[in-house]
Each structure stands twice: as C-alpha cells, then as structure tokens.
Amino acid sequence: MKDQQQRLTLFNKYLNGQCTLEEVEQLMQYFNSDQRWQLEELVLQEFQQLEFDEHHYTALPERILEGIKARIVDTEVAPVRRMLWPKIAVAASIALAVMVGGYYYYQSKIVNRQSEVVYQNDVAPGKNGATLTLADGRKILINDAVAGNIATQAGVTISKDETGQLVYTLSPLGGDAEGRGGFNTLTTTRGEQTKVRLPDGTLVFLNAQSSLRYPANFAQSLKREVSLSGEGYFEVAKDKAHPFIVKTDKQDVEVLGTHFNISAYTDESHINTTLLEGSVRVSSTKNNVVLAPGHQASLDEQNIRVKAVNVDEVVSWKNGMFAFSDLSLEEIMKKIARWYNVEVSYMPGVNKYEAYGGSVSRYENVSRVLSKLELTGSVHFKIEGRHIIVAK
C-alpha cells in the first residue's frame, strides 16, 4: 500500500509538471506493468474523495493537455530527452485517460445534483384504472370496485379480476345488444390505462385519455361494432360470420380476427392503424386500404398512407414501456403528458420537431424518462408541480 501511495504522489507530481526525467521514466515503467490498474484505481478513488467546484471540473482536461504540450516542447529543446518522448507520450495519454475518466465521473455528479434540484417535484407514473358507464347511466370507478362481480345487465355479468381487468360474461339466456343490453362506455383519464374482455371474447387494452363504446352484448347483431377515441390495442376473437368494426372520428377498421393497434387522439394530426397479425381493411370517406402485418396506415385530412413500421415500438405502451426510434420531441411529450397527467410548455428556441430514440419503463417517475432525453445534450427539463418546462 505504501508503494502505491508513493506512485500516486509521483503521478500527482507528473500532472503538476514537477517530475524529473528519472521520475517520469519510473512512472512509465509502472504504467507499462501488469499492476497499472491499481494506480488508476487509486487515482479515481482520490477523485471521489475530493470536492471540486464546477470550474475545476471543466479545467481538468485543459490542464492535462497543457502538460503534454509542455513536455513536447521539452523534447524538442533538449536532444538528449528525445529518446524519452515515446515513453512520456504514452504516460501522458494514460494520465489523460485517467483524468478525463475522473472528469466525466464528476461531470455526471454535477448533472445528478442539478437533476435533484430540477426534479425535486417529481411526478409518479400512471396506473391501471378507468370509469365504466353502464347503459342505464350508472358510473363505476374500476379502481374502487373490489374483485368479483361489479354489475349485471340483461344477459351479461361484468366482473373485475385480480389484475383489474374487466370481463364480460354472457349468461346462458343471452341478450339483445340494442334493446336489453344497451351500450357501455369505458373511459380512461390522463394517467390511467385499463383492459377489458368484451362479450365476444375480444381483448382490448385502452391507453391513457381514451374511450371505448361497445354493446354490452353482441348477440343478435350482424356486426360487432365499437367506437374508439384515443388509443387502443385489439386482439379480436375470430368470428367470420360477424365482422369486428372499430369506428373512429374519421375512419372505420374492419376485421374478422386479428391483432392491431389504433391511435386516434384528437390532438394528433394523424390516425395511425398498425397491424400485428391477420388482415384489416382501413376505410375513410375518400379511400380504403388492406393492411399486411408489420404495416401502418396513417390517415390525415386527405389520404391514407401505408408504411412498414416497428410494431414492437407501436405497442410498447401496452407492455409497460416508452419505446421510440425516430419520434419528434413534441410527439414524445404528448405521450408523457397523457401518461403522467402533466402539462407541457416550451421555451423559445426549442426544436419540437427534432427526432429522438430510446426506451424506458412507463412505471418510472417522469424524471427518469426526461433524463433519458437529456442525455442527448440538446434539451433540458424543469418540473414545477404537474407542469414540465422544456428548454434548450
């Protein structure tokens, strides 16, 4: 240990330009040995025990480079020293690596300390929950309902399982969707998501700030028709005799049995329908397309455009993740706003259309998601209550 401390002292002399040529050569020999990592470890440990201010952090690389330049000049002035230059250069490069490592270590500590201040008003993630409105107008808060049967309509029992999922079960007597069963509406607010198994066996995942209207009983209907606002992922039960139709504000999606995702938020410029399995027909007032798996139909005010997409990213929300590879800052912040139930504003100069990529759990606090975006260095955030301010 004593030898290691002596070498550390020698190393510090080297950084301060106080080493003799003999000491530089001695230090070089140690850098070239198998125990070099021990000295590097000691250097970093010493860094961790010091409390530099930010000025010192930013000055470290410059300090090292100036020392290297000085040694280059020395080798040019004194010919007898030239034979030592390769050794000095290598030693200097090693020193630079160690010091820069320490520099970035402390830079990260600065960022973390700053983040603690900026994110002191952190926001917890959303949760499972929704409001069910029955045909007779009764409203049931799903979170408040205990597991088990929560309502009965003609021919249908509605229950909540231990995971919070709603399940519709037909009684042997069946029911009439229009007359006896009526329509139910399942609604999520910002910061909520839920899933429901419809009377025909279709499973629907409903994202935050979304609404699904559907018959309490599909019996005696030629078509299984539901209406969606917001975003939903559908795993449709196969029934060739009764096509499944999802109606949104500007389009219809017709299927027989398949897995697909529809994003139809009113504050988005496009309605995106993404097919994972099977086949769907997407129809608007102007045209229609048949999608193949792995493709997305994007409807604007005029046309439907089809492109291949990464379906795992599209449905990452239902799997508990934020995942995106080429999404604008504005689109990302809209997703964050819905799930964390926050408002977002932008400072002047922020490029809302710059694309970002990354992934993070939806069950992390919002600061964790924002810190991922900040790693790019082009955007920063401040949280004030339930308000996120985006700055350059």
Domain boundaries, the chain: 2-118, 127-314, 320-391
Return the CATH number of 127-314, one of 3.90.950.20, 1.20.120.1200, 2.60.120.1440, 1.25.40.10: 2.60.120.1440
CA atoms of 174 and 217, how far apart (whole Å): 8
The sign of the CA dihedral 13, 16, 21, 27 is positive
Task: Note the CATH number of domain 320-391.
Answer: 3.55.50.30
Residues in the chain predicted with pLDDT less than 50, given as ranges, are 36, 44, 46-61, 63-65, 67-69, 71-94, 96-97, 100, 102-106, 110, 113-117, 174-179
| pLDDT on residue 147 | 79
pLDDT value of residue 313: 92
Tell me the pTM.
0.68
Q: How high is the pLDDT of residue 20?
A: 72
| Distance in angstroms (rounded) separating the CA atoms of residues 266 and 12 | 62
For the chain, the residue count is: 392
pLDDT at 169: 86
| pLDDT of amino acid 294 | 95
**pLDDT number for residue 76:** 40
Q: What is the pLDDT of residue 226?
A: 95
CA distance 314 to 322: 9
Task: Name every residue whose Cβ is closer than 8 Å to that of residue 106 and which is 6 or more positions away in sequence.
Answer: 47, 52, 57
Indicate if 320-391 has the same CATH topology as 127-314.
Answer: no
Element at 307 (helix H, strand E): strand 304-308
- Residue 134 sits at the vertex; the CA angle it makes with 129 and 139, to the nearest 5 degrees, is 50
How many angstroms separate the first and last alpha carbons of the chain? 48
The residue among 216, 270, 225, 261 whose CA lies nearest residue 244 is: 225
pLDDT at position 48? 47
Q: What are phi and psi of 380, to 5 degrees?
A: -140, 160
